[in-house]
Amino acid sequence: MSHSPQGNLTAVSRLRTALEDTAMALATADLNRLLAADTALQAALQALPSLASVDPEQRSVFRRELEAAAGALLRCRRLGVGLSDFVRISLDAHGGHLGYEPTRTAAAALTGRGFTQRV
């Protein structure tokens, strides 16, 4: 895949922006924004060129953008861990837990409704 030098920088900038949007969505617990950021992130990853296709004169700028993207990814990881901990603690406080429940007891506990089962 051949990219212009500016196209290479645009692709890595889109990656950084998508990761920053993901971090903001995690920080604000905004599901719609998180879903939109996921779509943008997938598109940015598809358009990302290999380092070999980057013009040697542009590699330092390309590297700075990748380092900024790595920083945004680290922020996403930290926010994701924090959000997961918050959800787990909240569920623990209500007597629930994360995980697959084939008997649907967790769903019944969270909604206050029971399920009809045939015996």
Residue 94's pLDDT is 74
The DSSP secondary-structure symbol of 54 reads: S
Residue 89's pLDDT is 84
pTM summary value: 0.66
Q: Nearest-CA neighbor of 91 among 67, 73, 107?
A: 107
- In tens, the pLDDT along 18-76 reads 999 999 999 998 999 999 999 999 999 998 887 778 888 888 888 898 899 999 999 99
Q: How far apart are CA 114 and CA 104, in angstroms?
A: 9
Burial of 1 (0-12, 13-18, 19+ CB in 10 A): exposed
Q: How far apart are CA 102 and CA 108, in angstroms?
A: 12
- In tens, the pLDDT along 94-113 reads 776 665 555 555 555 555 55
Q: How far apart are CA 118 and CA 106, in angstroms?
A: 19
pLDDT exceeds 70 at position 9: yes
